[in-house]
Amino acid sequence: MQRMNLAEVAPGAFQSVLGLEKYVRANVDHTVLELVKLRASVLNGCAYCVDMHSREALDAGESSRRLFAVATWREAPFFDERERAALALTDAVTRLGEHGVPDEVWDAAAKVWPEKALADLVLAIATINVWNRIAVTFRTELPSEG
């Protein structure tokens, strides 16, 4: 059962996170953005966000094969160098450990993403992690099939 609805309980906070969401949607390549959102959501165990972002990606024309492969992106041959760098950065930022983001992950991303695009990508990863933490904590319920 859902614990609470952030938009109802703290609408100002919800609007602030939504502002970040609108920014990244306007500034990050849509295909990469959906892959990043799906990957972080899988890592965080956020069923609500996995459902939402897989549906959005499918609606935007992404293949189900690539979406399923996000779970095993390192072994799957379906992703280009930019997507792989974004997914590796997503893993590192989402699993942010004691030593932060490894230099080799950062350097690989910086090699294929211009500085502004890389900054926007990090913001996108941070934003989906905020949404995941909200949805998991509040046990946000998935919409019914329809």
pLDDT at 4: 94
Is residue 19 domain-resident? yes
Whole domain around residue 27: which residue ranges? 11-138
pLDDT at 146: 58
User: Taking a C-beta distance cutoff of 8 angstroms, is the pair 21, 33 a contact?
Assistant: no
Is residue 44 domain-resident? yes
Distance set, CA 92 to CA 5, 82, 102, 126 (Å) = 29, 15, 7, 11
User: Taking a C-beta distance cutoff of 8 angstroms, is the pair 121, 89 a contact?
Assistant: yes
Whether the predicted pLDDT of 9 surpasses 90: yes
* Banded model confidence at residue 143, pLDDT cuts 50, 70, 90: confident
Q: What is the pLDDT of residues 18-33, one digit of tens each?
A: 999 999 999 999 999 9
pLDDT at 22: 98
Provide the number of structural domains found in the chain: 1
Is residue 4 domain-resident? no
Q: What is the pLDDT of residues 81-94, one digit of tens each?
A: 999 999 999 999 99
Residues 6+ apart with CB under 8 A from 75: none
Q: Over pLDDT 90: what percentage of the chain?
A: 93
Is residue 146 domain-resident? no
Is residue 1 domain-resident? no
Is residue 71 domain-resident? yes
CATH number at residue 44: 1.20.1290.10
Reported residue count of the chain is 146
Is residue 2 domain-resident? no
Q: Who wins on pLDDT, 2 or 109? A: 109
pLDDT at 144: 84
Q: What is the pLDDT of residues 30-77, one digit of tens each?
A: 999 999 999 999 999 999 999 999 999 999 999 999 999 999 999 999
Is residue 43 domain-resident? yes
